[in-house]
Structure 1
Amino acid sequence: MARKTGSHSEITGPKVRAAALNLFAHHGFAAVSMRQIASEVGVQAGALYLYTKDKQSLLFDLMRAHMDELLAAWSARPQRATPLEQLEDFARFHIQFHLDRPDAVFIAYMELRNLSEDNFAAIEALRRQYEQQLEQILEAGRAAGVMSVPDTRLATMAVIAMLTGVNTWYREGGRLSQEAVADIYWDMVRGAVGA
């Protein structure tokens, strides 16, 4: 049977991922069926399997794409010289990057429990790679005597949790702009690491 006009993989594939991202973020992975995703895209349920092996693979691909994009965006930034400047860059980058992708962030943190063991391990390795960026900054700051953290791993997890928490309450058009939020959070991060 011939493929319908407009159902090219470079068009439909991204539509499948975008629909799954939206549905998973708003209804939860477990509550969303492949039929719902297909309906959102405007294709038959069976057609989805041209673009993904199964729902688990789709979830994993969304999480991996988010982490790959996060790591690439951080690596592409120019590195400033001092640990304190690098920490400020990290804090501002993390807030900006995550506020621009609320659905991806929600899935990346809330749907880990739905990954298979192998997929979970792969995503955790990518998360650890990102966390190590901050941990290295904190270790350099401690070594230079400009930060005071008794445990850099714990401080890393605390700072990331604090920065990611912005996504749970921030709303565009609210009382504070993204820049104002980043300024306030930068002050809190600096205080949290004794800088």
Structure 2
Amino acid sequence: MARTIGSHGPTTLEAIRKAGVRLIFEHGYEAMSLRQLAAEVGIQAGSLYNHISTKQDLLFDLVQDHINDLLRELDLALEGKADPGEKLRAFVAFHVTYHMTRKREVFIANSELRSLDAKNYDAVVALRGAYEQRLAQILTDGVADGAFEVVDIQVATFAILALLTGLCTWYRPGGRLTRDAIIAAHEKLVLSGVAPRAAIGQASHGSDSRRAAVAGS
């Protein structure tokens, strides 16, 4: 039997939210019942309504808070960064780190978007758009400065986000690579993907020259 937590407002609400994240992650929003949620927290099902209005409101609050956290913490990570390359590296490091440590929230925000009603869906999509716009602006500024070469900003934005978020499907703590190594690998993938072709050509020529020097020594 679940431990009874009681009806202390903030404490119980936090327990409900944590249990909601775990149950939705494990079973899906549609399969999770409020009775199951109440049992997990250790309160009567009817007592849930002292803390949440509906199951839909709980899902919306969880997803909305997740994206608001994402935006707030990203802005802190970008604070003081002026150079587009530095900003893009900071974006990659932040996004990868956040998605390593908040996998459940990320999964719910992506997979349960379909479960939101129309009004809540529109609000979440607007927040997601604000996050995407942060990256799009970094790419736009980099192109204007000549630091990046991007054929289409929107396509590049979606492609980079898909690449970075993809680690949620395979990352496991304690694996072969350290967190820093995983971040570095993603930084290299993203930065090389937007580097001007002239810079790539120069780097390739330098590598060829070094190989030729070694071969001739």
TM-score (norm 1): 0.95
CA distance in 1, matches of 2:7, 2:23: 21
Q: Over alpha carbons, which structure has the higher Rg?
A: 2
Question: What is the CA deviation profile of residues 76-131 of structure 1, one whole-angstrom value per residue up to 9, with x for unaligned ones?
Answer: 23231210110000000001111111110000111000000110000011110111
Provide structure 1 residue ranges, at least 5 long, that are not aligned to the other structure.
none
CA offset at residue 51 of structure 1?
Answer: 1.1
Over the residues paired in the alignment, what is the CA RMSD in angstroms?
1.2
CA offset at residue 6 of structure 1?
Answer: 3.7
Runs of 4+ in 1 over 3 A off after TM superposition: none
Q: Partner of 1:125 in structure 2?
A: 126
CA distance in 2, matches of 1:40, 1:49: 15
Between the aligned residues of both structures, percent identity stands at: 44
CA offset at residue 5 of structure 1?
Answer: 7.9
Amino acid at match of 2:92: A
Within-5 A mapping of 1:37-48: 37-48=37-48
Kept in 2, the 8 Å contact 1:79–1:86? The answer is: no
Q: Partner of 2:11 in structure 1?
A: 11
Within-5 A mapping of 1:69-108: 69-77=69-77, 78-108=79-109
Which has the larger displacement, 35-44 or 4-13? 4-13
Amino acid at match of 1:131: E
Kept in 1, the 8 Å contact 2:6–2:42? The answer is: no
Within-5 A mapping of 1:13-32: 13-32=13-32
Provide structure 2 residue ranges, at least 5 long, that are not aligned to the other structure.
197-217
TM-score (norm 2): 0.86
Amino acid at match of 1:42: G
Which has the larger displacement, 185-194 or 110-119? 185-194
Q: Partner of 1:109 in structure 2?
A: 110
Question: What is the CA deviation profile of residues 120-176 of structure 1, one whole-angstrom value per residue up to 9, with x for unaligned ones?
Answer: 000011110111100000001111111111110110011011101111100000001
